[in-house]
Amino acid sequence: MFKKILVAIVVFGSVAFFEPSVLNRQQISSIHMVIVGIILVFTILHIIYDHSTKIKPGFSFEILLIVLAVILSVFGAYAYHNQDFIITLYAQRTVYFFLFYYFLHQVKPDPEFLKRLVIAVAIAYAVIYIVQWAAYPLQLFGSKMFKDRNTIRIDIPGTAFAVTAYYIAFLKFLKTSHYKYILLMMLLLVVFTLLGTRQLIAPVFLISLIIVVRSRRIRSKVVLTLIAMISLIPLYFIFQEIFDAMMEVTKQQSISVNENVRIKAASFYLYHFAPNKWSFLTGNGAYSSHSSYGISIENYSKLFGYYLADIGIIGEYILYGIFFIIAELIILFRLALRHYQEDFQFIRYVAYSVFFSLFVSAGIFGSSEGIMVICLLLYLTDIASYKEAIHPKPA
């Protein structure tokens, strides 16, 4: 029981308990550092005192490649932008959550418990998001909130858990036909719609169709696909203004690709921002508002709309360099191409979702919640490999 509580505290702490407005950014950052400390301490304690059999971490090469990239980026921030080592080490605190992967291997939580935990985080996130959406303009949760494209934009961490929970629920429904999973899926779909993000809604819809087509339990896949599409009609009319606004933005951006702010941001950081060619190898390092480097990045964001978080993997490339990107792509391809047992198939679909938004939104490898989800998927993949090794399929 203690281990379950410990894992739950770490997971909920990664989203800083959904960032209630009573906490400022410094306090949320402090919570993150405390969670990293808990991960590190208990990992070391288990290594020293727990001599029970452990499952071999199958992604150590990729994690070590990320560690190398992060170390090099610290020197990059100092050499190219004169940002102090201590400032950079604190600024890159989110990447320390990769230690969660080794924490899981030491604590060895049950896979079914982890799936229930992901669903619990997703439900809490969905309820909090809807409450905050209804309470607008009163801010209860999230770092920022504003109106855009006929919807309310609310920055509350937890989307990565929600997407993962959606695929878990979808596959559980296909397996059990239990209505509770449909209710969970509908709750999450409402939140995805309120988010008003094409990069989220489109992959969820397309991957849902892929799941239906690939399912062996559905006799008439054409009929089920039609039913699913028809069921989305009332959802469209309920949130018609949001959908219409997204379509209008899509039309505007398709008319002139060169005027797309994401294209302009990517071009700027790739061709004008980099101080020299070495920075593409080492990265420029995580930035802080307490340095001239960080102030420059924030000015580019505020004045021109050039947000690193808007250009996905390119933004991570600018910060952490080529080794980080290599590790990220290896991980995603391994997760997407692997053949999973039925209970772990959702992992592949989460990887598919990440690929869809690889260049157009905040990368899952760049946030504390995203890294936690990735570490959960990696650990569960190792569990799946272990189970296949001890119970191989008959030839």
Q: Can you tell me the distance from the alpha carbon of 69 to that of 47, in angstroms, rounded to the nearest whole number?
A: 25
| pTM, 2 dp | 0.87
Is residue 260, in this structure, part of any structural domain at all? yes
Is residue 288, in this structure, part of any structural domain at all? yes
Is residue 165, in this structure, part of any structural domain at all? yes
pLDDT on residue 226? 53
Is residue 278, in this structure, part of any structural domain at all? yes
Closest CA to 161 of 353, 382, 355: 353
Give phi and psi for 144, each to the nearest 5: -150, 160
pLDDT on residue 95? 92
Q: Can you tell me the distance from the alpha carbon of 365 to that of 373, in angstroms, rounded to the nearest whole number?
A: 9
User: 149: alpha, beta or left, given left = phi > 0 and alpha = psi -120 to 50?
Assistant: left
Is residue 264, in this structure, part of any structural domain at all? yes
Could you say which DSSP state residue 394 is in? P
Q: Can you tell me the distance from the alpha carbon of 321 to that of 326, in angstroms, rounded to the nearest whole number?
A: 9
Is residue 173, in this structure, part of any structural domain at all? yes
Write out the residue range of the structural domain in which residue 249 sits. 2-390
State the helix-helix crossing angle for 240-255 and 198-214, rounded to 10 degrees. Answer: 100
Q: Can you tell me the distance from the alpha carbon of 94 to that of 366, in angstroms, rounded to the nearest whole number?
A: 7
pLDDT on residue 136? 84
Is residue 395, in this structure, part of any structural domain at all? no
Dihedral of the CA atoms 350, 264, 274, 283 (nearest 10)?
-10
Domains in the chain, number: 1
Q: pLDDT tens digits for the chain (395 residues)?
A: 788 899 999 999 988 878 888 888 888 989 999 999 999 999 999 888 888 888 889 999 999 999 999 999 999 999 999 999 999 999 899 999 999 999 999 999 999 999 999 999 999 999 999 999 888 888 888 777 777 656 777 888 889 999 999 999 999 988 887 888 989 998 998 888 888 776 778 788 888 878 877 776 655 555 555 555 545 544 554 444 444 544 454 454 444 445 577 788 888 888 888 888 888 888 898 988 888 888 988 888 888 888 887 788 888 999 999 999 999 999 999 999 998 888 899 999 999 988 887 776 667 888 889 999 999 999 999 999 988 877 666 54
Closest CA to 285 of 84, 60, 64, 63: 84
Is residue 22, in this structure, part of any structural domain at all? yes
pLDDT on residue 245? 46
pLDDT on residue 243? 46
pLDDT on residue 17? 79
pLDDT on residue 308? 83
Position 371: which residue type?
I
Query: Do 111 and 119 meet the contact criterion of CB atoms below 8 Å apart?
Result: no
